[in-house]
Chains A and B, each alone.
Chain A
Amino acid sequence: MSTAELIFVLVKAWLVTGAFVSVIFLTIGIDQIDEDAQDAYVFRPLLVPAILLIWPLVLWRWYVLKTGRDNPMSRFHPVRKAHDVVAVMLAAAIIAALVAGFSVRQTWPADADPVQLSEKSESSK
């Protein structure tokens, strides 16, 4: 099995597990942990794509809320401190990407014959 095939299998396993979690959560769990969701069914299919992607987070929050471990005051602690660091890192990353892109950009005529920059792919070897 190639690395690409292995990654593809793992992704499928992740999504299938997410589908299983979404069925259980949207039929049983959601009514137990959110009173605003009780008797509200039309919006539930909209939650499925997110559960497929972040099901471990869903299971963790479900557990925290169901077992009464949620700290209601934690909802009022905005994550503002990290914002400064993220803003500077984003700007630095943008500059780095632009420099990298322009440093290897080629200026030959558009109709020049293409040149193979990378090695041939696994399938064509």
Chain B
Amino acid sequence: MSVKYVPVQWNRNKWMYDGFLLVGVGLFLGFFLHIRPDFLSGNDPRINAQILNARAFGVCAFLMLSIILSIGPLARLDPRFSALLYNRRHFGVMTAAVALTHFGFILNWYFAFSKSNKYEALLFANTNYGQIAGFPFEMFGLFALICLLILSTTSHDFWLKFLTAPVWKRLHYLIYPAYAAVVAHVALGMLQDASGNVFPALFVVAALIVAGLHVAAFVHDRRHGDPVAEPVAEGWFRICKASDIREGRARIGLLPNGERVAVFRQDDKLSAISNACAHQNGPLGEGRIVDCLVTCPWHGFNYDVRSGRSPAPFTEKIPTYNLKVHDAEVYVDPNANEPGTYVEPVEVPPLEGEA
């Protein structure tokens, strides 16, 4: 949460997260470059230091990208993994840096001795796009690198606010074609080197885990998605029974216009806010109320559920909804109030066992 932008919003947790990442990358590269270089070279004497560096950084970037792409579906399958979403953008920026280093080693070895500009050489060295064997797999890598650079350079919170979270998310969907391109880049590139089995095994397992997790999350969402709110008279929509909402928690309802509303119980009073956090549209309804404020499970943004406002000095606001309780059933008006509009909470009977 910010009032004025700063270059990087580091705190103790993020320093630790980034420190672990750096150490992990260093250990990975050290292992493949100095302890077991044969894993990537197959003891082939033609694999010199420049090529080995390129391969080590490439493998590292691929595995980092695989981990990043696994976090999202894992968090949807089990909310306990949501903590891994925290600071994932720093993970992405570091991955782009590792991928760029891989690109540098490749460009300055395979294309550096051309009479032409090395960037042009990369484009014309192989133009056999009509065949699988010998396909210019470098283009898949180049496409993925451009995607990663767009994602990493737009990771600052300014871009979220400037573009809006939905546009920013759409832009960051580039991670999916980028990963598919990386898999194709490796499958038609380094996988064709038949001199070792360690990397091919690592590559296939990582790629299949990413694919499997995404399919599993898709199936999970189909079975356990947020319930659709039921329309009743006078434009109100039924969300649930008041007794279904636990103290400090919410029930989420999908409204006909596609918006999701989160109805919270706080001190036996109900309040309804948008389920989308103003920051990255994280699912506020999966958060819980602490000291009168709901905390977004993705990045910890806080909102007063009565007004949809972040506590001062922060300025984030989300829409609120009017609600009513009739015969112990909770109804919501689907027409959201302007972000930050205070709505008087509706009192409900205490939950059994907590009265």
Contacts and interface: CB of A to CB of B under 8 A. Distances in A.
Interface centre among B115, B186, B211, B217 (most CB of A within 10 A): B211
Interface string B196-223: 0000000010011011101101100110
B124 A122 contact: yes
A12 B230 CA distance: 55
Given A88-B215, A88-B218, A94 B183 contact: yes
A101 B4 contact: no
Interface string B106-129: 000000001111011101111110
A54 to B, nearest CB: 6
A69 to B, nearest CB: 12
A43 to B, nearest CB: 5
Interface in A50-103: 50, 53-54, 57-58, 61, 65, 70, 72-79, 81-84, 86-91, 93-95, 97-98, 100-103
A84 B221 contact: yes
Interface string B263-274: 000000000001
Contact of B163 (A61, A97, A103): A61
B321 to A, nearest CB: 11
Given A49-B153, A57-B163, A88-B218, A100 B192 contact: no
Contacts of B15: none
A91 B134 contact: no
A39 B4 CA distance: 8
B153 A53 contact: yes
Nearest to B222: A84
B158 A101 contact: no
B338 to A, nearest CB: 7
B131 A106 contact: no
A124 to B, nearest CB: 9
A95 B211 contact: yes
Nearest to B137: A101
Interface string B233-249: 00000000000000000
Contacts of B259: 76-77
Nearest to B340: A72
Contact of B183 (A98, A103, A105): A98
Interface residues of B, number: 85
B158 A43 contact: yes
Contacts of B176: 86, 89-90
A53 B159 CA distance: 13
A75 to B, nearest CB: 5
B132 A100 contact: yes
A77 B211 contact: no
B73 interface: yes
A89 B205 CA distance: 18
A4 B44 CA distance: 33
B128 A77 contact: no
Contact of B150 (A4, A46, A50): A50
B101 interface: no
Given A39-B4, A75-B166, A118-B134, A106 B158 contact: no
Nearest to B260: A78
A78 B276 contact: yes
A5 B120 contact: yes
Contacts of A39: 4
Contacts of A87: 73, 214-215, 217-218
10 contacts: A7-B123, A36-B3, A43-B156, A54-B154, A81-B258, A87-B217, A90-B179, A91-B211, A91-B214, A94-B211
Interface of B: 2-7, 42, 44, 73, 114-117, 119-121, 123-128, 131-134, 136, 146, 149-150, 153-154, 156, 158-159, 161-167, 169-171, 173, 176-177, 179-180, 183-184, 186-188, 191-195, 204, 207-208, 210-212, 214-215, 217-218, 221-222, 258-260, 274, 276, 278, 281, 315, 318-319, 336, 338-339
Given A43-B5, A49-B149, A77-B259, 11 more contacts: A43-B6, A74-B164, A76-B281, A79-B166, A83-B221, A93-B184, A94-B179, A94-B210, A101-B192, A119-B127, A121-B127
Interface of A: 2-5, 7-8, 33-34, 36-40, 42-43, 46-47, 49-50, 53-54, 57-58, 61, 65, 70, 72-79, 81-84, 86-91, 93-95, 97-98, 100-108, 110-111, 117-119, 121-123
Among all A-B residue pairs, the 3 with the closest Cβ atoms = A101-B187, A117-B134, A110-B195
